[in-house]
Amino acid sequence: MKASYVIGNWKLNPATLGDVQALASALTAGTGRCQVGVAPSFVHLSAAKAALSAGIWLGAQDIAHKSTQTGAFTGDVSGAQLADAGAQFVIVGHSERRAYHGESDAVLAQKITHAFASGLSVVFCIGETKDEYQAGKTLDVLAAQLQVVADFASQITADTDGALPKLLIAYEPVWAIGTGLTPTFAEVEAVHRFISETLAAMQVFSPILYGGSVNDTNAETFVKSPLIDGVLVGGASLKADSFARIAAAF
Ligand code: G3P
């Protein structure tokens, strides 16, 4: 049975430690083929780790670009620090980091290098803006963004045997994030097929998740495609019952 992945990106939420503990302790691990993970903010990693049920993966939302585990990098957090706090994966390339922090492909490649050297898995996000979507440039944009992972092909193995994969790709159309809008099922399938073929040509083997306004209603649709290996969830991952229903769908 093919594994599936439901990962919550908590972004800059929840506001208080008490809320983090309440949310983390209310989550339940996936059952069957579905693996569940969540990515709180840096300052909440340890508290979330302590409150999460066994079997739920913990991730961070960012990592320093320099592959140094200590040093003069104000505001940065190293892979060793993340792992020490209990993180097993890190999100890299989210459109909010690209847009608000100007993260370039070169920086993203450095972050992946750092994460892998620290023993962390990577959820690598790609996606087109609304303008790019409307101009019919989606596949060109994604092909360019995917070039970043080509250099890591030799480090990524296809057979993960139930473990957290070394690399997961998350297709998140920027215009679908937090808007309630989603591409059609056929559009998502076509894009996932393209990503899969592009990765295969690079000899990179990775699950491909969809992200962007996923909720406990539309998850039922996405799960129907063998091309969609799971979802990366923002807003709906902040409600334990909604997140559980999404995980149950997968
Ligand atoms: O990383 C997940 C995210 O960008 C999607 O957010 O709130 O649209 O589910 P949301």
CA distance linking residue 59 with residue 149, whole number of Å: 19
Query: Which of the residue ranges 28-37, 61-70, 143-152, 221-230 would you say has the lowest mean pLDDT?
Result: 28-37
Q: Does ipTM top 0.95?
A: yes
Q: Which residues contact 205 (CB under 8 A, 6 or more apart)?
A: 156, 157, 158, 199
**212 pocket-lining for ligand 1 (C-beta < 6 Å):** yes
Say how many domains are in the chain.
1
Q: What is the pLDDT of residue 69?
A: 83
Q: 179-204: per-residue pLDDT in tens?
A: 999 999 999 999 999 999 999 999 99
Q: Is the pLDDT of residue 238 over 70?
A: yes
Q: In the annotation, is 101 catalytic? A: no
- CA dist 32 to 5, 248, 249, Å? 11, 9, 11
Range(s) of the domain holding residue 229: 4-249
Q: In the annotation, is 192 catalytic? A: no
CATH of the domain at 103: 3.20.20.70
As a whole number of angstroms, the longest Cα–Cα distance in the chain is 48
Q: What is the mean pLDDT of the chain?
A: 95
Per-residue pLDDT, averaged over 76-86, amounts to 97
Q: Is the pLDDT of residue 87 over 80?
A: yes
Rg, the chain, Cα only: 17
Which residue from 169, 218, 233 has its CB within 8 A of the most atoms of ligand 1, so it is best to mutate?
A: 233
**178 pocket-lining for ligand 1 (C-beta < 6 Å):** yes
- Whole-model pTM: value is 0.97
**92 pocket-lining for ligand 1 (C-beta < 6 Å):** no
